[in-house]
């Protein structure tokens, strides 16, 4: 360990400075959003002209953004739930069984996340408009499940891989059927993975713009409504809704910190 | 008499229905709502439009029209070049900015604080992307926070034109990419065996040599994943190019829109689905070529 203390120290200091700068840039837009939702002037810039609640009032009286938020809060949890349930069964089968064509199947299940939403948006619209399913909240729901499935499957697989195979085998040996073992042993073990997958899926869906823009009609989700707002009348209501969304994000983040991060940092303990 | 010792450690019934029960829903769902739409997309690209109605058929009209406008009118070639340029530079910048961040996270932050630091770094990902872009608008606007601040400090005389250029586009994209790149790189760096780094030092390597010859090569999977992720997102993203890039943002190539913006705006203006589908199919082709080339390149280097 002959590295010079000075250079090691300089490296540490540089590292900290870099981290502070990095965190500053990462947080800058979010802080801007929250702070300027209370700024008096219609144009969010310096100098500061005073505090106000009026943008929150405007957001609620205008109601467009709130309606969109409601639509999003209907679509996203539902899409995330469907994706998580389907994903759990898929992940379980992929993790436990070996069969012919497993690899191409895995690729099929993962590849939707590699296709840009722009392309999927056009594709979904093409298909849905042929069967007259476009322009409804359900259209967004159906299509969001597709892009949420890969992350759900990936995260739940990660959790399943951390499960010692012996647990399930012990259940079989003790007389449980496969279904019972799945329901009463594997499922409880996977709960953190399922919950983490749900949170991530919810976030993806809640934030998804392009697909929703293509297939939505008169019931836009929040990102689409915000986009329409940006095009027409810039208003600090956007900052106000942003602050609301930010509060929701903090709740999600706590869940992520409790569920997702431990799972990602855990090393897989695969035993047969 | 059933002896538990004689029991198989696997259910004897390998051909049980469980496998099919578990796999069927996802397979059917993805076939119906993923594969089918994609095939449909490619097919619709060959349709035509008559009286504002899409007419099924097989015609090369859309493609002939698109290729005839590569350098004139819609100038698709320039948009594609702009997309490639912005995506390449953004991905490279992302790696250059996020890799040191991930290293600092792994080696400078005390282990007890690392988990919290990681959550903080990926926090922006959990807030709305479009709202973050709107907030960046507030920051980099001509009379926005950054310019006001710099002018008050007397560092610049005239406002910097960042918004509605491809620099703006890159800022938005980088803010989207950074949390994920940091996460990927951090996880890979964390899984590197520390004894290898210590061994390198004990054998007399300088910090720089240890970094260049041991740490960097071991980080390669993380760098490749991050680069692939960055390229896919940058090529496919619509919002940053419109909200911060202003549609036709200026770069050193000139004031051309991104190809993704072109596709999005053309549909918004014309609702010509067959032609939009043809353009989207073209984008798929471009991305497949780039990804194949990129992965080939990173494999050859090894």
On whether residue B206 sits in a domain, the answer given is yes
Residue B212 CA to residue B195 CA, distance in Å, equals 16
A positions 142-171 inside 8 Å of B (CB): 142-143, 145-146, 149, 153, 169
The pLDDT value given to residue A1: 40
Of A144, A137, A143, nearest to A225 (Cα)? A137
Distances (CA, A) of B117 to A16, B110, B176: 12, 10, 18
- Which residue in A46, A108, A241 is closest to B148 by CB distance? A46
Residue B126 CA to residue B139 CA, distance in Å, equals 20
Per the structure block, which two tokens stand in for B156? 């610049």
Give the domain CATH number at B216: 1.10.3720.10
Instruction: Flag if B129 and A209 touch (Cβ within 8 Å).
Output: yes
Of A188, A117, A111, nearest to A151 (Cα)? A111
pLDDT digits (tens, 9 = 90+) for B147-171: 888 888 888 888 888 888 899 999 9
CB A149 within 8 A of CB B29: yes
Residue B76 CA to residue B231 CA, distance in Å, equals 19
Mapped onto helix, strand or coil, the DSSP state of residue A246 is helix
On whether residue B250 sits in a domain, the answer given is yes
On whether residue B81 sits in a domain, the answer given is yes
CB B279 within 8 A of CB B66: yes
Instruction: Flag if B126 and A265 touch (Cβ within 8 Å).
Output: no
What is the rounded average pLDDT of the residues B173-198?
92
On whether residue B38 sits in a domain, the answer given is no
Confidence of residue B10 (pLDDT cuts 50, 70, 90): low
Phi, psi of A51, deg, nearest 5: -95, 150
Residue spans of beta strands (DSSP E) within A15-160: none
Interface check A187 vs B, CB under 8 A = no
CB B82 within 8 A of CB B252: no
Per the structure block, which two tokens stand in for A18? 């870099």
Phi, psi of A39, deg, nearest 5: -85, 140
Q: Return the exposure string of A258-271: e unless at least 16 CB atoms fall within 10 Å of the residue's CB, then b.
A: ebbbebbeeeeeee
The pLDDT value given to residue A202: 93
Instruction: Flag if B26 and A265 touch (Cβ within 8 Å).
Output: no
What is the rounded average pLDDT of the residues B46-58?
81
- Which residue in B11, B26, B183 is closest to A178 by CB distance? B11
pTM, full prediction: 0.89
Instruction: Flag if B30 and A108 touch (Cβ within 8 Å).
Output: yes
Phi-psi region of B54 (alpha: psi -120 to 50; beta: other; left: phi over 0): beta
Confidence of residue B15 (pLDDT cuts 50, 70, 90): low
Per mean pLDDT, which of A68-77, B9-18, B59-68 is the most reliable? A68-77
The HSE-up count of residue A119 (CA atoms within 13 Å, CB side) is: 31
The pLDDT value given to residue B198: 87
On whether residue B226 sits in a domain, the answer given is yes
The pLDDT value given to residue A234: 65
Quote the Cα angle for A160-A166-A168, to 5°. Answer: 65
CB B187 within 8 A of CB A261: no
Name the residue ranges covered by the structural domains of chain A.
59-265
pLDDT digits (tens, 9 = 90+) for B270-284: 888 899 999 999 999
The HSE-up count of residue A263 (CA atoms within 13 Å, CB side) is: 25
Confidence of residue B35 (pLDDT cuts 50, 70, 90): very high
CB B232 within 8 A of CB B287: yes
Of A122, A246, A167, nearest to B129 (Cα)? A246
- For the domain covering A59-265, report its CATH number: 1.10.3720.10
Mapped onto helix, strand or coil, the DSSP state of residue B79 is helix
- H/E stretch holding B83 reads helix B76-107
The pLDDT value given to residue B253: 83
Question: Does residue A47 have a cis peptide bond before it, meaning omega lies within 30 degrees of 0?
Answer: yes
User: For every one of its 272 residues, what pLDDT tens digit does chain A have, with 9 covering 90 and above?
Assistant: 444 445 678 888 999 999 999 999 999 998 888 888 777 666 666 667 777 777 787 777 777 888 899 999 999 999 999 999 999 999 999 988 888 888 999 999 999 988 999 999 999 998 888 887 777 888 899 999 999 999 999 999 988 998 888 888 888 888 888 888 888 899 998 988 899 899 999 999 999 999 999 988 778 899 999 898 887 766 777 888 888 888 888 888 888 777 777 777 775 554 44
Distance from CA of B33 to the nearest CA of A (A): 7
Write out chain A residues lying below 8 Å of B187, CB-based: 264-265
Per the structure block, which two tokens stand in for A21? 């700068």
What is the rounded average pLDDT of the residues B98-125?
91
Neighbours of B81 (CB within 10 A): 16
Number of folded domains that form chain B: 1
Write out chain B residues lying below 8 Å of A157, CB-based: none
Of A143, A154, A261, A132, nearest to A210 (Cα)? A143
Report the sign of the C-alpha dihedral through residues A65, A66, A71, A73, in that order.
positive
Q: In chain B, count of helices (H) and strands (E)?
A: 15, 4
Give me the domain span that covers residue B265.
75-270
Nearest CA in chain B to A171: B9
Confidence of residue B300 (pLDDT cuts 50, 70, 90): low
């Amino acid at each position: 360990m002959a590295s010079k203390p000075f250079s090691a120290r300089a490296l540490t200091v540089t590292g900290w400075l870099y981290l502070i700068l990095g965190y500053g840039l990462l947080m800058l837009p979010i802080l801007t959003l929250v702070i300027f939702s209370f700024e008096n002037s219609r144009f969010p810039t310096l100098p500061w002209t005073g505090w106000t609640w009026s943008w929150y009032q405007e957001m609620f009286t205008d109601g467009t953004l709130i309606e969109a938020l409601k639509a999003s809060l209907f679509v996203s949890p539902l899409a995330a739930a469907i994706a998580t349930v389907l994903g759990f069964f898929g992940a379980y089968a992929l993790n436990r069984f070996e069969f012919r064509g497993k690899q191409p199947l895995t690729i099929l299940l993962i590849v939707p996340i590699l296709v840009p939403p722009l392309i999927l948006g056009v594709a979904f619209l093409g298909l849905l408009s042929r069967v007259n399913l476009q322009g409804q909240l359900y259209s967004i729901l159906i299509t969001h499940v597709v892009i949420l499935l890969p992350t759900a499957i990936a995260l739940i697989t990660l959790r399943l891989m951390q499960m010692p195979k012996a647990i399930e085998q012990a259940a079989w040996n003790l007389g449980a059927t496969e279904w019972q073992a799945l329901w009463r042993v594997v499922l409880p073990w996977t709960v953190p993975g399922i919950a983490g997958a749900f949170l991530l899926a919810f976030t993806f869906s809640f934030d998804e713009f392009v697909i929703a823009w293509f297939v939505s009609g008169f019931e836009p989700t929040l990102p689409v409504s915000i986009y329409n707002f940006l095009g027409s009348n810039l208003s600090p209501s956007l900052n106000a809704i942003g602050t609301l969304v930010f509060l929701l994000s903090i709740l999600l983040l706590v869940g992520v910190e409790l569920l997702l991060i431990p799972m990602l940092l855990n090393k897989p303990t695969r035993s047969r | 008499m059933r002896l538990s010792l004689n029991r198989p450690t696997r259910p004897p019934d390998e051909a049980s229905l469980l496998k099919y029960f578990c796999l069927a829903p996802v397979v059917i769902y993805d076939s119906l709502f993923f594969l089918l739409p994609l095939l449909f997309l490619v097919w619709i690209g060959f349709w035509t439009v008559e009286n504002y109605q899409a007419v099924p058929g097989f015609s090369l009209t859309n493609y002939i029209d698109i290729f005839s406008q590569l350098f004139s009118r819609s100038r698709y070639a320039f948009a594609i070049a702009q997309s490639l340029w912005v995506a390449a530079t953004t991905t490279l910048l992302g790696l250059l900015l996020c890799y040191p961040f991930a290293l600092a996270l792994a080696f400078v932050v005390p282990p007890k604080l690392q988990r919290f630091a990681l959550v903080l770094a990926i926090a922006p990902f959990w807030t709305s992307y479009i709202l973050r872009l709107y907030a960046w608008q507030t920051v980099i606007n001509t009379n926005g926070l950054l310019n006001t601040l710099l002018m008050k400090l007397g560092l610049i005389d005239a406002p910097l034109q960042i918004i509605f250029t491809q620099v703006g586009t890159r800022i938005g994209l980088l803010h989207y990419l950074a949390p994920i790149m940091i996460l990927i790189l951090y996880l890979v760096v964390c899984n590197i065996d520390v004894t290898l780094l210590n061994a390198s030092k004990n054998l007399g390597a300088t910090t720089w040599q240890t970094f260049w010859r041991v740490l960097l090569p071991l980080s390669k999977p993380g760098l490749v994943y991050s680069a692939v992720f960055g390229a896919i997102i940058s090529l496919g993203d619509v919002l940053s190019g419109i909200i911060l890039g202003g549609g036709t943002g200026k770069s050193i190539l000139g004031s051309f829109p991104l190809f993704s913006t072109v596709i999005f705006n053309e549909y918004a203006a014309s609702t010509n689905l067959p032609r939009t589908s043809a353009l989207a199919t073209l984008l798929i082709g471009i991305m497949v070529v780039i990804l194949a080339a990129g992965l080939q390149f990173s494999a050859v280097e090894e």
